[in-house]
Amino acid sequence: MCYNVIPSDEGKEKMDLSEKKNMDVAYSINMGSWNSVFAVPSCVVDEHMKLAGAAQLKVLLYLLRHGGEKVTLDALSFAIGQKPSDTQDALDYWVNCGLLSEGSVHAKQKKPEPSAETPAGSAAPTDTIDIPEAGIKNALGLTEAKKAPVTREKIRYPFDECMKYVAEDEQLKNMLTAVEATLGKQLTHTEVTCFVTLVKWHGLPCTVMPMLVQYCRSIGKPSISYIEATGIGWAAEEIDNFEKAEKKISALTAKRRAWNTVRSALEIPERKATDSELKYCDLWINGQHIEVELVRHAYDKCINKNGKLSFAYMNGIIKRYYEQGITDVTSALKLDEQNREAMEARRLARNETQGKSGRQSEVYSETSATDDIEAILDAEWAKEMASSSGDYNYDD
């Protein structure tokens, strides 16, 4: 049985409204995250995926995403979770590759004049670059607030030239392989140019380079900027063989250990030591073999007298103990007691012979000996602080 239902006029009107509503709807594909995209040069994938590290890729992606915006180096470093020095090295990598424009970074380029200082068997780098501190940051629209630009000279061979040297020199190739093994990673373009320049321009031997890298890594400073600065310093000191490098590392390690020993005994918060602090700690612990408890004793005397820490003042106290053959706190306390007893004996003797006037002598005799010593220490302290205050050490 079949039923034919004829819609009423009201039903027809509802159907017409429904059809009209469906005709007015606009449909689109839900792109989600694809609505906001930015372009990445093909060469990044084709040529640099294997060579560039995570730091370089993070820097590039962030700058591509924020093209046209002004970002400080600190803000960029914070955004990608890196140290500013590592971020600067990553920027250098893309500039050397030509992917980022140098702009005002390399405002002046010139070939250095040949000199007697040029290591034998190596040509001078093809360009010497005067780089302002703001350098690459300005070229990329990055600004660093509250810091005046400081010019520094930075010399590195171009990457292509470095690879030519490596192809021709088996020692260079082996050195880079050893450095990679020490760092536990593949070297970037920037790192390769740094190590090759240290050898070919600054004259640091290939045999010394792995030792330099291992030392920097052992003290928790494996960044390329720290390795480069330390390597230049070693080259200037003519550390040109294995024995000299081993002696240098041993001395630096002993100096750092002495500082840490004293710092721990004096409960100084962990921080970088000044040159004078390292010098005194090295002298006391490694040179004079002073027991650390005696250093603490000198510290207590210094605080009681001055109310603050002074390594120069402490050195004056320790020096006087050492000149009398004392290197331990037990002997120092015994000497202090003998001095007090001798002072008391002199005071009593004067009181017996001078009567009432001896009361004035008592005050003088009790304080004069101490004041004389402290005056000497104060003079030495003032002289030391004037010549070496705030001089922080960077060769540790």
Give yes or no for residue 384 having a pLDDT over 90.
no
The residue with greater pLDDT, 286 or 359, is 286
Instruction: Give the closest residue to 91 by CA, choosing from 112, 109, 71, 110.
Output: 71
Instruction: Give the start-to-end residue ranges of the domains of the chain.
Output: 43-117+129-152, 162-240, 277-388
Summarised one tens digit per residue, pLDDT across range 340-354 is: 888 888 888 887 776
Give yes or no for residue 223 having a pLDDT over 70.
yes
Give yes or no for residue 74 having a pLDDT over 90.
no
Q: Average pLDDT in the 44-48 region?
A: 78
The H or E element spanning position 109 is strand 109-110
Report pLDDT for 386: 54
Q: Average pLDDT in the 6-23 region?
A: 54
Q: What share of the chain is helix, strand, coil (3-state, %, to 5)?
A: 65, 5, 35
Give yes or no for residue 259 having a pLDDT over 50.
yes
Mean pLDDT of the chain, nearest integer:
75
Residue showing tokens 């009432």 = 356
Residue showing tokens 């928790």 = 220
Q: Average pLDDT in the 155-181 region?
A: 92
- What is the rounded distance in angstroms from the CA atom of residue 24 to the CA atom of residue 249? 80
Query: 274 pairs with which residues across the strands?
Result: 392
Query: 299 pairs with which residues across the strands?
Result: none
Report pLDDT for 15: 54
Report the chain's C-alpha Rg in angstroms.
35
Report pLDDT for 87: 82
Report pLDDT for 178: 94
DSSP annotation of 355: G
- Of the ranges 66-70, 105-109, 121-125, 255-259, which is most confident? 255-259
Summarised one tens digit per residue, pLDDT across range 298-326 is: 999 999 988 888 899 999 999 999 999 99
Percent of the chain with pLDDT over 70: 66
In the three-class reduction of DSSP (H, G, I as helix; E, B as strand; rest coil), residue 21 is classed as helix
Report pLDDT for 370: 46
Q: Average pLDDT in the 65-84 region?
A: 81
The residue with greater pLDDT, 150 or 356, is 356
How many residues are present in the chain?
396
- What is the rounded distance in angstroms from the CA atom of residue 225 to the CA atom of residue 86? 8
Please, what sign has the CA dihedral across residues 71, 139, 228, 46?
Answer: positive
Summarised one tens digit per residue, pLDDT across range 265-292 is: 999 888 888 888 999 999 999 999 999 9
Look at 239-248, 276-285, 353-362 and tell me which has the smallest mean pLDDT.
Answer: 353-362
Report pLDDT for 315: 93
Report pLDDT for 177: 94
Q: Average pLDDT in the 183-205 region?
A: 92
- What is the rounded distance in angstroms from the CA atom of residue 98 to the CA atom of residue 101? 7
Summarised one tens digit per residue, pLDDT across range 110-142 is: 334 434 444 444 555 544 433 334 444 444 444
Report pLDDT for 66: 80
In the three-class reduction of DSSP (H, G, I as helix; E, B as strand; rest coil), residue 117 is classed as coil
The structure tokens listed for 291 are 């027991």
DSSP annotation of 99: S
The H or E element spanning position 347 is helix 329-354
Strand order in the sheet with 109-110: 109-110, 128-132, 151-154
Report pLDDT for 243: 93
Q: Are strands 151-154 and 109-110 parallel, antiparallel or unpaired?
A: unpaired
Give yes or no for residue 218 having a pLDDT over 60.
yes
Report pLDDT for 355: 63
- What is the rounded distance in angstroms from the CA atom of residue 289 to the CA atom of residue 359? 43
Q: What pLDDT band is residue 208 in, cutting at 50, 70 and 90?
A: very high
What is the distance in angstroms between the CA of the first residue and the CA of the last residue of the chain? 102
* Beta-carbon count within 10 A of 345 CB: 10
Residue type for position 136 = I
DSSP annotation of 140: T
Report pLDDT for 319: 93
Report pLDDT for 247: 93
The H or E element spanning position 330 is helix 329-354
- What is the rounded distance in angstroms from the CA atom of residue 162 to the CA atom of residue 377? 56
